[in-house]
Each structure stands twice: as C-alpha cells, then as structure tokens.
Structure 1
Amino acid sequence: MADVMEVGCIGCGGRGRVYSSGLAKLPGFRMRGYADARIEAAKAFQEAYGGDYATPELDRVLEDPRIGAVLICTYHDTHAPLAIKAAQQGKHILLEKPMALTIEECKAIEQAVEKAGVRMALGFKMRFMPVITKVKEKIGTPMMMVGQMMDRRWADTNWAQQPKIGGGNVISQGCHTTNILTYFAGADPVSVYAEGGTMTHTGTDIIDNVVATVRYRNGVVAGMIQGDAGLNPYVSKFFFELFGRDGRGAGLYNRCHEAVLWGADVDRIGPEHLTPEENEDIEGDRGLLRHFAECVKANRPTLVGPREGRIATTIVVKLFESVRTGKPQAIAV
C-alpha cells in the first residue's frame, strides 16, 4: 500500500465537509478529487481542503486509478449504486448513513465489498462518542434500554424527507438509534414490533413517528422512540437509558455528551471527566475518521462495517412493516 492514500469525495455537502476536512488532516491521507452535481460546491471543497480537481462527473472520482478511498455523502437513494461501483473499482469506502433504503440494497453493497476485499465504514459517528463508549464499559450488557431520537418537525421540502431519495426521518436518523441500541445490546436483533404512522406530515405515506420494541438474541429488550414530533430540551435530541441486571444503569442526555449512572463506580460522566482530545471529539466524528483510516491502512474490518449498516437499516425497514401490518416482524441477519 502506498505511503499516502489519495481520497475522493462524492457529494460536497455538510457530511462531505466533515469527512473531507478531517481526512485531509490525517497523516498518510490526501484529498485528491471532489465530485458534485453542483460544480461550485466541488470547487469550494478543493479550495478549502486541497486536491487536484473538482468535477460534476461522479464517475471521474470512482474511476480515478490514483484514488484509493472514497467518501460517499450523497442522497440516500444513490448509496447502493455508488458504493457498489466504488467497491468494484477496488476503493475503500466511507459511506454516510443510512447504508441504503432497502435491505436488498444493503445486501448488494455488502456482497460487493466482500467480493472486492475492500474496507467499508458507515457514518455511524455515535459509535465513537466518548460518553457512549464509557457508559458501555461501565454498564456492560443491559436487561432493558430505551433509545430516543426526537427532532423538530422536518420541512416538507427537506430532501431527506422525500420518499424516494431520502426515506424520511425515521430511517435517516433512526439508523443511528438502531446502531447504538444494537451496540449496547451486544447481540443481533431477532424481532421488532412498532406502532406509529404519518403523524406530522401530510400528502405523503412516509412513516414519520414510531414507538417500537426490539428484542435481541441474548434476551435484551429495547424501546425505541423516533420521529420529528418535537425536540424535548430536557433530555435533548439524543437520549438513551440502560437498566442492567445487577442494579447498574445509566441515562445519557445532552446529545449523549453527559450521562448519569447508578450502581456503578461513578455516578456521572461528563465533559469534566474527558481528556482534552475526547472533549474536542465529543460528537465522535474524528474517532470515526481515525478508525476508518487505521482499518484501511491495516487492512482490517471496521467496527461499523457493511454488516452493521445492514442491521441498522433492517431494523428500521422491519419496524415500518410492523406499523403497516400491525404485527411483530422477525429479523433475520
């Protein structure tokens, strides 16, 4: 492997900016090309983060033989074709969440990545948030837990709210919730039952708010509340609560920047308990990028790879089926 890996970014929006700016600072990586249908956005990225070209042609980045890794930060409906082609071109992939909008697309990406022998990480930054990982260390495997991610009402014009290209809030943000619940559970999901529907939007069939129960293979049970009916300022947009078998537990609040614990050897984890480096990365973005870079260089699987991406999407797709049918749905992963 070359001493310096050149990287391309496809999709020069908010998440593309986070990933491009972060990777440009990591030793052993160099941004080379940027692709976006809005050529002015691609040019702005090149000016900000360096590189050799900006283009409206996505295939120029995908087919560039000098590029060894790509950042895919496009509309959700494009994730599968772009990630599959990137894998076929032998490129490592950092793919923004959700992995895809359907289970079938997720499986196709996973198969392409495995066949090509490349490394993939999903944009599950929460998996690297320092307070989340410290709570997992203190509590271990819980008996029961709750994961809540409730947002202010999304605009009807928001691209991610569109059924075909974004899929709506519950899959766009809910994949974060399902990924972290699965991380805390330490096992694969086996079933989900959900109630909800189209509650905050009109003129669409998107399920925009849900309450679900997810059961895991090891017996852990999780409640999940997801949608855009409003943001509770008391606990914040991100809120998780864990109840352990031995009386230990934790509640994570303030975007999971803080946690209260009981039955553990500490009763609180907050910014004052973190190192300066952890506080600088309290949202987990840098940890995600460092992990991806290390796994690419060492040629080892990531902790947020295609299987984890597929499971996160599968739970959401199955809870949609549960809402529509009124029946629990089995999950086979």
Structure 2
Amino acid sequence: MSKLRVAVIGCGSISKHRHIPEYAANPHVELVAFVDPVGERAEHYASLHGGKAFSDYETMLSEIKPDAVSVCTPNATHAPISIAAAKAGAHVLVEKPMAATEEEGLAMIEAAKAAGVYLMVGHNQRFMPPHVKAKEVLSSGRLGKVLTFRTSFGHPGPEGWSVDGRESWFFRKPEAVMGAMGDLGVHKSDFIRWLLGEEVADVTGFIGTQHKEGTEVDDNAICVLRMKSGIIGSLVASWTYYKGEDNGTILWCENGVLKIGTDPNDQVIVELRDGTVERYKVGAIATNEKQVASGVIDAFVESIVTKTPPSVSGEEGLRSLKVILAAFESQNTGRVISL
C-alpha cells in the first residue's frame, strides 16, 4: 500500500524529540512537509528527511494536500490549524492541551467529523509501559477499591526544554494561554481519568506563578479532584522542580498501595496489606532528560492505516482539558467547580 503522507506543523522541541523521529521510524509514513515560521527550522528537517519546507500552514495544506498532520505549535493556534487541516482532508494529531477553550475543542471535533477524518490528541501518558502495567494491576482487582490518590508532574520548566529557551512562547500568555497546567497538568488529568476508568466530578484549584519572573502564565498548581465514584485525590503540576523531574502517582486502595514512577529501578510497586510486595521493571516513563518512544505517533498511524478511530479521540482530549479549565475557574472564583 502507498505510504501515509505526513506533514509536521511546528518544528520545535516536541517535533524534534518525538513527532519527527517517530514518523521517520514508522514504515507506513513518508514525511512530505515541515512548517515553521522560523524558516531554517523547517529547512533543516526537510533536508534531513526529504519533503518540502514551508513558513505557513495554509500554503502547505493547499500545495501538498497531506494525508495527515501533526500540530505542534503554540497552544493558542492548535484549534485554527487543526480545523484548517481537517477541512483540507487531513487526519489530525494535535499536541496537548488540544485547545484553549471548550468551544475551540468542540469546533475541532465538529470539523474532523464533517470532513470524515480522525482527530487524535497527543496524550502520551496512556502509552507509557509503567502506566499500562499499573492499569493492568488495578484491573486485576487484587488491590480492591481505590480510595485516594496523588498524581504529580513537575520539572524545572520549559526554558530547559524549548528550542527557544527562556524566550520560548511557553512563557507568553497570548500564545501559551496557560503554563504548567497546559503543559503538564492536562497530561495528569488525562492519565488519572484513563487509569481509574472514570470521569472527574468536582475540581478545586490553587494555581499561581510562584517563581518564573516576567511571565503571566502559571508555574505551579495544586488541585483536588473528586471522581464520579467518590474517589478523592490531588493533582499537581509544576515548572519549579529544579532538582529534577517527578512524574509519580500513588494510589491508596482497600488492600494496599500502588506506586508508579516513584522508584528509580522499579517503575511499578504493589505493596499489599498482608506484607506482600511486588516490584515490576517495565520500561521507563519518558522524561525530558530521557526520551523514549512516546507510543502516540505509532498509535495515530495505526489508527489511520487500520481505519480504527483513535483511542485518544478529540472527545477524550476535551474531557481532560475541561478538568484543567475547571481548575482555573476554581482559582478565579474560589469555588468548587462541578463538571
């Protein structure tokens, strides 16, 4: 069969570390275009992988007519670019947060439906081997009912990750819309919904800018979530974990504790109340320092090739986004927000 012609829109760090190399490694894919307002970035990848460089996505869509695109641009532009790509007949993989508002997210879902293309959101936490293993352990039922949890995602901030360092769009509110919550918090809301297999019912959020100077976006957030079944827990997102990254989750259950990403050697640890301890080495959780395949690109490509709707659909991405938006509303109003 002919290869899937893919265009990457936005050639920053997430493209450099994840999208571009993972597409390049996928036997079903031909990279046909790279788009970036900084011309030499697009040129660089075109010279590396073939395909054509563009400085704007409209020209690329009309000229190349790709089968699929990855939207790896600043948050504020996710919706307009995704909608334009869908209208041009391309399947869309959009980075998280999928949109800046619920209305934008709904418009993206509608555009994909109308065009008969898939819309997938790049929530990679679901695909990481330790997280997959943890869900398997929970599903086995031997821990009994989940009672409470805490899940956190923190690192020293985008200045060490973004191709533009401290000058990155991540710190400019008109482009970023939100900070650590859009970068990391939305990953965790998606992860906890998926892991527990249920929706968030109520959210409170304490969100602020604690330490990053000269920016209006949040660099820290602590949220309390109540799930539909009554499970309560905390969700933390931070850009000020200067001593290193944390992507850890602990679930306290009737029959014991499930620890994920808390130990450098054993990624999943089950401690049962009868004294039994199970330790699993199941591959790393991807970090900024240690890039491992995200699983997202392969899942997106497989979805198109097999004509199977993606598991992380636009609807799923929107449910995870709404948790984060509710946390901001809680911060602004001082109220508990019900979803």
What TM-score results when the alignment is normalised by the length of structure 1? 0.87
Corresponding residue of 2:316: 308
CA distance in 2, matches of 1:65, 1:33: 7
CA distance in 2, matches of 1:158, 1:255: 30
1:262 matched to 2:261? no
1:207 matched to 2:218? yes
CA gap 1:284/1:300 in 2 versus in 1, 3 angstroms = farther
Corresponding residue of 1:41: 41
Corresponding residue of 2:155: 151
Over the aligned positions, Cα root-mean-square deviation in angstroms equals 2.5
CA gap 1:72/1:154 in 2 versus in 1, 3 angstroms = closer
Kept after mapping to 1: 8 A contact 2:96/2:122:
yes
Structure 1 residue 204: deviation in Å?
5.0
CA distance in 1, matches of 2:106, 2:113: 10
1:319 matched to 2:327? yes
- Tell me which of 239, 242, 267 is aligned to 1:228: 239
- Tell me which of 228, 235, 238 is aligned to 1:217: 228
Corresponding residue of 2:256: 247
Query: Between the two proteins, what is the percent identity of the paired residues?
Result: 25
Kept after mapping to 1: 8 A contact 2:267/2:283:
no
Structure 1 residue 126: deviation in Å?
1.6
Structure 1 residue 118: deviation in Å?
1.0
Kept after mapping to 2: 8 A contact 1:210/1:225:
yes
Q: Could you list the runs of 5+ residues in structure 1 that have no partner in the other structure?
A: none
Tell which deviates more after alignment, 256-265 or 308-317. 256-265
CA gap 1:315/1:286 in 2 versus in 1, 3 angstroms = closer
Corresponding residue of 1:174: 185
CA distance in 1, matches of 2:217, 2:150: 23
Structure 1 residue 185: deviation in Å?
1.8
Structure 1 residue 104: deviation in Å?
1.5
Kept after mapping to 2: 8 A contact 1:35/1:55:
yes
Kept after mapping to 1: 8 A contact 2:33/2:64:
no
CA distance in 2, matches of 1:274, 1:154: 25
Corresponding residue of 1:58: 57
Give the SS at the match of 1:9.
strand
Corresponding residue of 2:173: 163
CA distance in 2, matches of 1:227, 1:153: 8
Q: How many residues align?
A: 320
Corresponding residue of 1:237: 246
Give the SS at the match of 1:300.
coil
Q: Could you list the runs of 5+ residues in structure 2 that have no partner in the other structure?
A: 140-144, 160-165
CA distance in 2, matches of 1:4, 1:112: 24
CA distance in 1, matches of 2:57, 2:303: 25
Residue by residue over 1:247-301, the C-alpha shift from the partner in whole angstroms, topping out at 9 and shown as x without a partner, is: 352242368982222129862122xx459xx9xxx96634211111110112222
Tell which deviates more after alignment, 156-165 or 93-102. 156-165
Kept after mapping to 2: 8 A contact 1:96/1:123:
yes
CA gap 1:191/1:67 in 2 versus in 1, 3 angstroms = same
Structure 1 residue 177: deviation in Å?
1.2
CA distance in 2, matches of 1:107, 1:256: 41
Give the SS at the match of 1:146.
strand
CA gap 1:309/1:254 in 2 versus in 1, 3 angstroms = farther
CA distance in 1, matches of 2:137, 2:50: 42
Structure 1 residue 326: deviation in Å?
1.0
CA distance in 1, matches of 2:183, 2:47: 30
Structure 1 residue 232: deviation in Å?
5.3
CA distance in 2, matches of 1:302, 1:176: 17
Residue by residue over 1:58-105, the C-alpha shift from the partner in whole angstroms, topping out at 9 and shown as x without a partner, is: 112222454100111111111000001111111111111110121221
Equivalent residues in 2 for 1:73-112 (5 A)?
Answer: 73-112=72-111
